Amino acid sequence: MLNNSVEIICKHRVQGVEIEASQIKGIKAGEGVLPCATAIIATGGMSYPGTGSTGDGYDWARAAGHRIIPPRPGLVPLVANEEWVKELQGLNLKNVEASAYRLDGSRINQEFGEMLFTHFGVSGPIILSMSRDIGEVLYSRQETVRLCIDLKPALTEEKLDARLQRDLDIYSRRQFKNSLDRLLPKKLIPVIVALSAIDGNKESNQVTRVERRKLLQLFKSLEITITATRPISEAIVTAGGVEVKGINPKTMESKLVKGLYFAGEILDVDGYTGGFNLQAAFSTGYLAGKSAANTACLCHLKQ
CB of 89 to ligand FAD, least distance (A): 20
47 belongs to the binding site for ligand FAD (CB under 6 A): yes
For the chain, what is the radius of gyration of the CA atoms? 27
**Does residue 276 interact with ligand FAD by CB under 6 A?**
yes
First CA to last CA distance, the chain? 26
Please identify, using beta-carbon distances, which residue of 41 and 147 lies nearer to ligand FAD. 41
Phi, psi of 29 (to 5 degrees): -145, 135
CB of 43 to ligand FAD, least distance (A): 4
Those residues with Cβ within 8 angstroms of residue 223's Cβ, 6 or more apart along the chain or in another chain: 146, 147, 148, 149
Residues numbered 55 to 74 that lie near ligand FAD (CB under 6 A) are 56
By CB under 6 A, how many residues form the interface with ligand FAD? 21
Residues 6+ apart with CB under 8 A from 253: 247, 259, 260, 261, 288, 291, 292, 295
Residues present in the chain in total: 303
Of the pair 49, 70, the CB lying nearest ligand FAD is at 49
Q: Is 281 in the site for ligand FAD (CB under 6 A)?
A: yes
Q: Nearest distance from residue 231's CB to ligand FAD, in Å?
A: 13
Helix (H, G, I), strand (E, B) or coil at 114: strand
Q: For every residue of 4-22, which 3-state class applies, written as one string?
A: CCEECCCCCCEEEEEEECC
Q: Which is nearer to ligand FAD, 14 or 296 (CB)?
A: 14
Contact status: 13 vs ligand FAD (CB under 6 A):
yes
Instruction: Choose the binding region for ligand FAD from 31-39, 45-53, 223-231, 286-294 (rule: CB under 6 A).
Output: 45-53
Q: CB nearer to ligand FAD: give 192 or 247.
A: 247
The smaller minimum CB distance to ligand FAD, of residues 9 and 298, is found at 9
Q: Least CB distance from residue 208 to ligand FAD, whole Å?
A: 48
Q: Is 160 in contact with 131 (CB distance < 8 Å)?
A: no
Site for ligand FAD, residues 204 to 263, rule: CB under 6 A:
236-237
Paired with 69 in beta bridges are: 241
The answer to whether residue 277 forms part of the interface with ligand FAD (CB under 6 A) is: yes
Comparing CA positions, the residue from 85, 96, 78 lying closest to residue 132 is 78
Provide the binding-site residues for ligand FAD, judged by CB under 6 A. Answer: 13-14, 42-44, 47-48, 51-53, 56, 236-237, 264-265, 273, 275-278, 281
